[in-house]
Amino acid sequence: MKIRILAIGDVTSPGGVSHLSQNLWAFRRENAVDFCIVNGENASLVYSMKEEQAKEMLAAGADVITGGNHTMRNLSAFSYMDKEKNVLRPCNFPTDVPGHGYAVCDVCGYRLLVINAMGQVHIEPVLDSPFTAVDKILKREEGKYDLAVMDFHAEATGEKLAVGYAFDGKIQAVFGTHTHVPTADACLLPRGTAYVTDIGMCGETGGILGMEPKGVVERMRTHLSYPFSAAKGQVRAQGVLIVLDTDKKVAVSIDRIEF
């Protein structure tokens, strides 16, 4: 059997959340998507995600929401993240941090392990090694899942590729998030893992990573805390559609999508 998994890149604003509410279920139907993962760490604009936005994205058609370096900045969402098993934060945070770093979900009768991990290179906070943390999860959950996918939230392209190759053949799909710019390297690695360095973003286009250029440029130029606001272009969702073969336990395709 083939399972079709949609992954949507970092939601950058409430506008991105509304876009998913208006379009995600239709995209899922048209493309026979069995399961959808959305990275929601910036859904409240720039920093973090509120409980209400997580609920809106789940209702919009996200089966799992993944996070990243901004996820744990919003203290008000901690109790919700503890309760909601399908809203993740990176698994390599210390173990006593609220929330969950992975989930096992039923997809067409198969147990899909969804892991969220964060890189350590040019990104803060610097968490535990993603290699070690993910290895531990695979060992702990051995026999309790059929297929696995991972959102690897990281800045450095080399680190993302290294994680992709490290888990080639062990995790059927490793896709990168965080940089908001989709990369052109989607491929199948030698042992059958679908890989892409970054799947892009979901939010207003025409700016810098979803933000109005002026504030970002001034912040970069002056090193002062100029405020960010959402860009003013058309809202788009970018990501990848991954097809997994449940018998061979490999990915058979990975294609960029946008709507």
Q: Which residue's CB is nearer to Fe ion, number 68 or number 164?
A: 68
Binding mask 172-191 for Fe ion (x = CB under 5 A): ------x-------------
203 contributes a contact to Fe ion by CB under 5 A: no
CB of 70 to Fe ion, least distance (A): 6
Residue with the shortest CB distance to Fe ion: 68
| CA proximity to 116, closest of 132, 100, 128 | 100
Please say if 122 is a catalytic residue.
no
CB of 141 to Fe ion, least distance (A): 25
Q: Which residue's CB is nearer to Fe ion, number 42 or number 172?
A: 42
CB of 104 to Fe ion, least distance (A): 24
CB of 244 to Fe ion, least distance (A): 26
Return the amino acid letter for 50: K
User: Residue 151 is encoded by which pair of tokens?
Assistant: 């959102």
Residues 60-79 that bind Fe ion (CB under 5 A): 68-69
- Count of residues near Fe ion by CB under 5 A: 3
Q: Which residue's CB is nearer to Fe ion, number 61 or number 68?
A: 68
Q: Which residue's CB is nearer to Fe ion, number 28 or number 70?
A: 70
CB of 255 to Fe ion, least distance (A): 24
Residues of this chain that bind Fe ion (CB under 5 A): 68-69, 178
Q: Annotated catalytic sites, by residue?
A: 70
